[in-house]
């Protein structure tokens, strides 16, 4: 099999508010990864409150990036998430893209349905599974469905976890991370469950995850990683609303060009890049 046909399970996880009007670097990269002119893309605008507009917007960007085959899959209910034509479109896709909006709407309609199963099959055969904002959070097995934002201080019982699609194991992914100051809420859910790794993605920033074991960062912001495995915490005991004690957590801020190993929870490589993915300088990790 020619090397270019070998695909590996790939997640393309965007922190929201990616550029759709100007250079659209991140979305163009998604199309390239999905096969460029040969891509067969499916857009799932279901999370959004403005599904028609969102579907049209992404269609325009993907077409401008060279994709010719674009299908919209938009189940109106959990029952509708069985539609055979939609399942067939997902089974043919080389790239699947979930828009932003409400992750609870996605979690209601996708996991455990034929559409959800088709997304899993697509992932396993090496299609690129992409999503932004809510469409990013839904990727992991655990996701933050709601929580206080705007603070670095984690507080007890101010965030809620729900179940996601489970494509990315052992992580919780949050988005709009720097812009909505979500450090505190991510800390509040990871500290009590330190076997989970927290990943916070800034706006107009993406992580591209290979085989669920490593990711590279692209875009204008950073991906933040939170590792509480060696932290001491009072999370089991803190009173509702009280600031949570978390001592000795390990954190990483990873700009474009970083490659991070999720198995060892450590930086593997950093190649300094412009936000638009021009390599500026290669640095060896000391």
Catalytic residue set? 133, 176, 203
Residue 232 makes contact with a copy of itself by CB under 8 A: yes
- Report CA-CA distances (Å) from 250 to 172, 183, 236: 16, 13, 20
Check residue 161 and give left, alpha or beta (phi > 0: left; psi -120 to 50: alpha).
beta
| Nearest approach, Cβ of residue 205 and a copy of itself (Å) | 9
Cβ atoms < 10 Å from Cβ of 107: 21
Contact 237, 248 (CB under 8 A): no
Q: Is 263 in the site for a copy of itself (CB under 8 A)?
A: no
Angle between helices 25-33 and 51-64 (to 10 degrees): 70
Among 52, 251, 263, 279, binds a copy of itself (CB under 8 A): 251
According to DSSP, the β-strands at 95-98 and 128-132 are parallel
Residue selected from 141, 146, 252, 276 as contacting a copy of itself according to rule CB under 8 A: 252
DSSP-derived secondary structure letter, 17: -
- Which tokens hold the place of 117? 């199963």
Among 41, 43, 44, 249, binds a copy of itself (CB under 8 A): 249
CB-CB contact of 94 with 39 (8 Å): yes
Residue 19 binds a copy of itself (CB under 8 A): no
Count of positions on this chain that bind a copy of itself (CB under 8 A): 49
Going residue by residue from 181 to 200, which x/- string records binding to a copy of itself, judged by CB under 8 A? xxxx--x------------x
| Cβ proximity to a copy of itself, 123 vs 224, nearer residue | 224
Q: How far apart are CA 154 and CA 177, in angstroms?
A: 14
Smallest gap from residue 198 Cβ to a copy of itself (A): 12
Please select the residue that binds a copy of itself; options are 61, 89, 258, 262, rule is CB under 8 A: 258
Among 59, 102, 108, 151, which residue interacts with a copy of itself (rule: CB under 8 A)? 151
Least distance to a copy of itself from the beta carbon of 136, Å? 17
Stretch that binds a copy of itself, among 46-54, 85-93, 102-110, 278-286 (CB under 8 A): 278-286
Our finding on whether 259 is near a copy of itself (CB under 8 A) is: no
Q: Does 173 bind a copy of itself (CB under 8 A)?
A: no
Instruction: Give the CB-side neighbour count of residue 265, counting CA atoms within 13 A.
Output: 19
Other beta carbons within 10 Å of 253: 14
Per CB under 8 A, 150 contacts a copy of itself? yes
| Cα distance between residue 169 and residue 263, in whole Å | 11
Tokens 């450590």 map to which residue?
266
Contacting residue, 152, 160, 213, 264, with a copy of itself by CB under 8 A: 152
DSSP string of 27-56?
A: HHHHHHHTTGGG-EEEEE-TT-SSHHHHHH
What is the binding site for a copy of itself (CB under 8 A)? Answer: 150-154, 177-179, 181-184, 187, 200, 202, 220-222, 224, 232, 234, 237-239, 242-256, 258, 266-267, 270, 272, 280-281, 283, 285-286
């Amino acid at each position: 099999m020619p090397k270019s046909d070998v695909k590996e399970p790939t997640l393309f996880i965007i922190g929201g508010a990616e550029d759709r009007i100007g250079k659209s670097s991140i979305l163009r990269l998604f199309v390239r990864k999905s096969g460029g002119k040969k891509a067969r893309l499916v857009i799932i605008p279901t999370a959004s409150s403005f599904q028609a507009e969102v579907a049209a917007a992404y269609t325009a960007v993907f077409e401008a990036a060279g994709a010719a085959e674009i299908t919209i899959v938009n189940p109106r209910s959990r029952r509708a998430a069985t539609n055979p034509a939609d399942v067939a479109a997902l089974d043919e896709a080389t790239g699947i893209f979930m828009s932003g909006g409400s992750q609870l709407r996605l979690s209601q309609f996708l996991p455990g349905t034929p559409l959800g199963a088709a997304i899993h099959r697509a992932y396993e055969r090496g299609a690129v599974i992409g999503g932004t904002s809510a469409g990013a959070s839904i990727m992991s097995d655990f996701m933050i469905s709601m929580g206080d934002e705007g603070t670095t201080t984690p507080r007890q019982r101010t965030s809620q976890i729900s179940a996601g699609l489970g494509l990315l194991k052992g992580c919780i992914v949050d988005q709009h991370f720097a812009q909505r100051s979500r450090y505190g809420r991510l800390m509040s859910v990871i500290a009590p469950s330190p076997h989970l790794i927290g990943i916070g993605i800034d706006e107009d920033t993406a992580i591209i995850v290979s085989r669920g074991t490593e990711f590279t960062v692209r875009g204008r912001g950073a991906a933040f990683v939170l590792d509480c495995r060696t932290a001491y915490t009072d999370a089991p005991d803190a009173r509702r609303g009280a600031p949570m004690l978390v001592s000795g957590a390990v954190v990483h801020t990873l700009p474009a060009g970083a490659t991070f190993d999720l198995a060892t929870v450590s930086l593997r490589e950093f190649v300094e890049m412009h936000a638009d993915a021009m390599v500026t300088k290669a640095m060896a990790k000391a």
